[in-house]
């Protein structure tokens, strides 16, 4: 009778110890998951890693697997009549157990933080180098635009790293009140030109033929500067191509100052690796807005 009565509290104590150990393991799993989520968000939103930091993912999975195995081991021990808390029966044992658990939790957390910390330091250096290369290209473009008499404006100085890249604009007739006629050069974080966009103003009060002649003259002036830029281009066609495609010109002359025209590479093709887009942006006569006006656009890019 006495043996049976004593066995019941021991069984309850073992069950509570097992529950505590499993709960502790589950807390570590949740802690590591939350920590990994925060570090991954920092990696993507602040340090702009593409693709995600694979060693960090692998380390997190390994740590989670280790904790899952330990939890399963505790459950297995209890189900087979073993005891997981015998060493905690004394006050000193319980104190050591608490300390061990804290050190273990902090250690696992520190390992994950350290791995990402090294990665963050490396990414910061990489981002600084990329900003320098992009700034050098933007500065060369800005100087060329200013030397040609364009009004240059853009993302200089580069205040914040942008994974999408940066741009420099050159307005041809800004002093004359024409804000539509301009060229935009987009640069990636390697300092390479990835896209060139030409915009030419259209005056609906003038005949379409005269607007087309004016647009082609403005395009020639802007393209001459772009083609002589001493900067790297992703594809030669971004620098070499600078004419309105014949299909677009025919559509423009056959259209109206108040009807938009949009043509894609499927209509216009490509030139030396640069895909060609052309468009006429305007408003209907009823919705005409003088301060926005209308413009012909030639866009050259490398990804179609």
CB under 8 Å, gap of 24 or more: what pairs does 78-84 form? 78/14, 78/15, 78/18, 83/14, 83/17, 84/14, 84/17, 84/18, 84/21
258 and 179 fall within a common domain: yes
Three-class secondary structure of residue 106 per DSSP: helix
- Which pLDDT does position 12 carry in this prediction? 44
Pair (145, 268) in one structural domain:
yes
What residues make up the domain containing 266? 131-301
Q: Are residues 269 and 136 in the same domain?
A: yes
State whether 120 and 150 are in the same domain: no
pLDDT at 96: 61
Among 106, 128, 150, the domain-final residue is 128
Are residues 152 and 262 located together in one domain of the fold?
yes
Identify which of 273, 291, 294, 290 has the alpha carbon closest to the alpha carbon of residue 282.
Answer: 294
Say if residue 160 is in the same domain as residue 293: yes
Paired residues of 267 in beta bridges? none
Q: Are residues 196 and 262 in the same domain?
A: yes
| DSSP three-state, residue 117 | helix
Are residues 141 and 234 located together in one domain of the fold?
A: yes
pLDDT at res. 105: 79
| Domain end call among 128, 151, 186 | 128
Q: Which residues of the chain have pLDDT under 50?
A: 1-20, 84-93
Tell me the whole-structure pTM to 2 decimals: 0.76
Which tens digit of pLDDT belongs to each residue from 170-205?
999 866 666 789 999 999 999 999 999 999 999 988
Please check whether residue 185 is in contact with residue 167, taking contact to mean a CB–CB distance below 8 angstroms: yes
Q: For position 16, what pLDDT does the model report?
A: 38
Among the candidates 87, 110, 128, a domain finishes at 128
| Shared-domain flag, residues 39 and 177 | no
pLDDT of residue 156: 86
Q: Are residues 150 and 21 in the same domain?
A: no
Q: What is the pLDDT of residue 144?
A: 97
Domain count, the chain: 2
Same domain, residue pair 80 and 202: no
Give the pLDDT confidence score for residue 82 in this predicted structure. 52
């Amino acid at each position: 009778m006495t043996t049976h009565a004593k066995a019941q509290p021991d069984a309850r104590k073992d069950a509570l110890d097992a529950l505590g150990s499993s709960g502790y393991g589950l807390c570590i799993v949740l802690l590591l998951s939350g920590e990994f989520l925060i570090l991954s968000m920092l990696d993507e939103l602040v340090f702009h890693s593409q693709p995600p930091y694979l060693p960090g993912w692998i380390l997190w999975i390994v740590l989670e697997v280790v904790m899952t195995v330990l939890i399963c081991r505790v459950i297995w021990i209890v189900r087979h009549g073993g005891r997981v808390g015998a060493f905690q029966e004394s006050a000193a044992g319980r104190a050591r157990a608490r300390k061990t658990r804290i050190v273990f939790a902090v250690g696992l957390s520190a390992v994950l933080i350290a791995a990402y910390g090294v990665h963050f330091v490396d990414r910061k250096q990489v981002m600084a180098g990329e900003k320098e290369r992009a700034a050098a290209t933007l500065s060369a473009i800005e100087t060329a635009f200013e030397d040609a008499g364009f009004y240059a404006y853009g993302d200089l100085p580069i205040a914040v790293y942008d994974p999408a890249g940066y741009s420099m604009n050159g307005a041809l007739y800004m002093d004359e009140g024409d804000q539509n006629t301009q060229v935009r050069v987009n640069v990636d974080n390697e300092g390479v030109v990835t896209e060139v966009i030409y915009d030419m103003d259209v005056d609906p009060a003038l005949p379409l033929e005269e607007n087309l002649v004016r647009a082609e003259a403005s395009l020639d002036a802007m393209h001459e500067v772009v083609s002589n830029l001493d900067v790297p281009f992703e594809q030669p066609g971004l620098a070499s191509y600078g004419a309105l495609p014949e299909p677009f010109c025919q559509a423009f002359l056959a259209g109206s100052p108040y009807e938009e025209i949009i043509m894609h590479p499927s209509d216009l093709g490509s030139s030396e690796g640069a895909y060609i887009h052309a468009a006429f942006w305007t408003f209907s006569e009823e919705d005409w807005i003088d301060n926005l006006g209308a413009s012909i656009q030639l866009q050259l890019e490398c990804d179609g």
